[in-house]
Amino acid sequence: MNPVLLLIFKRPDTTAEVLKAIRQAKPRVLYIAADGPRSTVVGEDAACRQAREAALAVDWDCDVQTLFRDENLGCRRSVSGALDWFFSHEEQGIILEDDCVPHPSFFAYCTDLLDRFRDDDRVMAISGNNFQPESDQLTESYYFSRYMHCWGWATWRRAWQRYDAEMTFWPEFRDRRELLQWSGGDPGFQEYWKSVFEACAAGQIDSWAYRFLLSCWENSGLTVLPAVNLVSNIGFGSAATHTNDEINAQANLPVREIGFPLSHPHRVARDIMRDAFEHKVHFCPDAYRTGAQKMRSWVRLLPGRIVRRGTALFGFGN
């Protein structure tokens, strides 16, 4: 069983649910990293303390390592710092946030594929998320995608070492029009992701996940996505840091067991069709709607609910 990194903040209720799932897998080593409370938020100190207590309720034979911060670093610096810490000790591992509850088979799925692609630089991450329609039928156990989803995932030190925190390669990547090779010929894809990465570089979006996604693309790296959804995000709601849209289509998705032995694709190549579906449905659906459809979409958004597309999948801010 691979080591697990549990990322927590101020959600004792959801943290307890995630730990319950981890308990079934009984990892030999559990790393717990927690950002500190914000001094400007009343009651957050107590909530952070309760979340840490919930995460420490480990009752199996396990080496527990902790990184509990006194000050608040914010999501980007806190998570990337925790991953730096984790991979300073481990060559590979599984990462779960405090509101991402995995199916029991998620752990064996990650373990199998961490070993299979350990030395394959074409693969940068393994995700437990599947956002394809329920009618989608994949004959293999997983496929390769341009999208790195982080609601329950796994990776290696060799991949995380390529994390470009300062986006130093973005100007060259942009000017060489490298997004073109990932676009599948869709100009909407290029326009959308150029605006996202420009906003990150300008400090308008504070997300570690967008930066790691760009790092994957800069290194021609793919992510493994399962044929069935293996992780449910139960953290949507007013108490969440990023995922506060309770009616989001990705909220509380059901999970299913993945069968073993895994059925492997014949080659490492991204699934262009499934990537295109995800871009159109989850990242910028308005670009592919008629004028009337766009109007109905905006009418359904109440004041204060209008958020950047993709926020739920790649959280930003503090």
Rounded mean pLDDT, 42-51 = 96
Residue 312 falls inside a structural domain? no
Helix (H, G, I), strand (E, B) or coil at 318: coil
The verdict on residue 24 lying in a domain is yes
- Chain-centre distance for alpha carbon 258: 19
Q: Is residue 241 part of a domain?
A: yes
Banded model confidence at residue 209, pLDDT cuts 50, 70, 90: very high
DSSP 51-118: HHHHHT---SS-EEEEEE-SS---HHHHHHHHHHHHHTT-SEEEEEETTEEEPTHHHHHHHHHHHHTT
Looking at the domain assignment, is residue 141 inside a domain? yes
Dihedral of CA 57/63/69/74: which sign? negative
Asked if residue 235 has pLDDT above 90, the reply is no
Q: Tokens for 75? A: 């999501």
pTM of the model: 0.88
Q: Which two tokens stand for residue 303?
A: 């004041």
Q: What sign does the dihedral 51-20-77-182 (CA atoms) show?
A: negative
User: Does position 107 have pLDDT exceeding 70, yes or no?
Assistant: yes
Could you tell me if residue 314 is inside a domain? no
- For residue 100, the domain's CATH number is 3.90.550.10
Would you list the DSSP string of 148-211?
A: ---SSEEEEHHHHTT--TT-TTHHHHHHTTTHHHHHTT-HHHHHHHHHHHHHHHTTSS--HHHH
pLDDT surpassing 60 at residue 251: yes
Q: Which of 92-106, 117-131, 213-227, 250-264 has the lowest mean pLDDT?
A: 250-264
Q: Which domain holds residue 154?
A: 4-288
300 in a domain, yes or no? no
- Does residue 304 form part of some domain? no
pLDDT at residue 300 in the model: 38
Q: Token digits for 96?
A: 């779960």
Domain for residue 296, yes or no?
no
Our count of domains for the chain comes to 1
Does the pLDDT value for residue 240 go beyond 60?
no
